[in-house]
Amino acid sequence: MAAARGVLLCPITMGLFLQSLFLLLLFLGSCLHPAAAFPKGCYPSEEEGLKTFRCSNAQLTEVPRDIPNDTNKLYLDFNQIPFLPRDAFRDLPLLLELDLSHNAITRIESGAFQGLAEHLHSLDLSSNRLVSVSKDAFSNLKAKVNLSDNPWLCDCRLQELIRAVELAADSSGGIVCDSSTQEEHVGKAFLQLIADTDFCNVYKKTTDIAMLVTMFGWFAMVISYLVYYVRQNQEDARRHLEYLKSLPSKQRRSEESSTISTVV
């Protein structure tokens, strides 16, 4: 009897064991899967009670896609990211700090920071390769932005950008003209220059002068053509009259009246 009961209990025990093992594997899989999906060199952590995701010096060439959407601080510094596409951070609604310093960023598409306006308070874009960026790329962004140590072209576009964002403390002196519409500005701090020079007014005056020169050129061409046309007609008329003088008198009178009426 006892032997028969043992035979019955054995399959039940084995079934419970296999079920427990299956559930354990599912649990471990769900815990390990997110970490396995992270790019090499990236890892999550918690710093000062904030959920942090670090990808510093991870040889990234684009913004990772599998960043936890509850991340508060994101470090993508010291990589080779060349540009920021539209909606690059749209799945990170709780992001407070974003470090993109020491990359190779040359272009930022409009809407790259879309979705970050509500919470983001720090954005570091220092030590990249930014030459010119539209202010629309930072539309509605309230974060303090670090734009220092980039090869900026100092012109009206940069002036509009500087006035559209709030610069991070102690970063303004690092915005230096690598090139400029005026050669004497190269190597100088841009914020010092715009204290005395309105680059947008200079650009407008230059554009207005160019338009006036172009209009004057077209006007001169029209006048020259009219003068040429009148002189050419006068020369043709003079030659025709000389030809008429060489004809017999009756035919000459008839063609002279025809020529005069045509000239008139």
The answer to whether position 112 is within a domain reads yes
The answer to whether position 21 is within a domain reads no
Query: For residue 47, what are the β-bridge partners?
Result: 50
The answer to whether position 2 is within a domain reads no
The answer to whether position 218 is within a domain reads yes
Same domain, 127 and 207: no
DSSP-derived letter for residue 259 is: H
Q: Please check whether residue 122 is in contact with residue 100, taking contact to mean a CB–CB distance below 8 angstroms.
A: no
Same domain, 163 and 230: no
Residue type, 174: G
Location of structure tokens 């060439």: 61
CA distance 213 to 209: 6
Query: What residue ranges of the chain have pLDDT lower than 70?
Result: 1-36, 202-220, 222, 224-232, 235-237, 239-264
CA distance 82 to 25: 40
Find the largest Cα–Cα distance for the chain: 155
Same domain, 180 and 213: no
Task: Please say which residue of 147, 172, 197 terminates a domain.
Answer: 197
Give pTM, 2 decimals. 0.65
Number of domains, the chain: 2
Same domain, 102 and 86: yes
CA distances from 253 to 234, 246, 262, 263 (A): 20, 11, 14, 15
Same domain, 102 and 207: no
113: domain CATH number?
Answer: 3.80.10.10
Same domain, 140 and 83: yes
The answer to whether position 213 is within a domain reads yes
Same domain, 86 and 211: no
Q: What is the pLDDT of residue 76?
A: 98
H helix count then E strand count, the chain: 5, 11
Q: Render pLDDT for 131-154 as a digit per residue (tens, 0 to 9).
A: 999 999 999 899 999 999 999 999
Task: Please say which residue of 180, 197, 214 terminates a domain.
Answer: 197
* DSSP labels, 39-90: PTT-EEEEETTEEEEE-TTS--SS--S---TT-SEEE--SS---EE-TTTTT
Location of structure tokens 């913004």: 63
Same domain, 107 and 229: no
CA distance 131 to 154: 9
Same domain, 107 and 69: yes
Residue 207 burial by Cβ neighbours in a 10 Å radius (0-12, 13-18, 19+): exposed
The answer to whether position 136 is within a domain reads yes
- 178: three-class secondary structure by DSSP: strand
Task: Please say which residue of 197, 225, 258 terminates a domain.
Answer: 197
Q: What is the pLDDT of residue 260?
A: 47
Same domain, 206 and 228: yes
- 146: three-class secondary structure by DSSP: strand
Q: What is the pLDDT of residue 38?
A: 85
Find the domain containing 226 and state its range: 198-234
Same domain, 183 and 169: yes
The answer to whether position 145 is within a domain reads yes
Residue type, 154: C
Q: What is the pLDDT of residue 233?
A: 72
Q: Please check whether residue 103 is in contact with residue 126, taking contact to mean a CB–CB distance below 8 angstroms.
A: no
Same domain, 84 and 97: yes
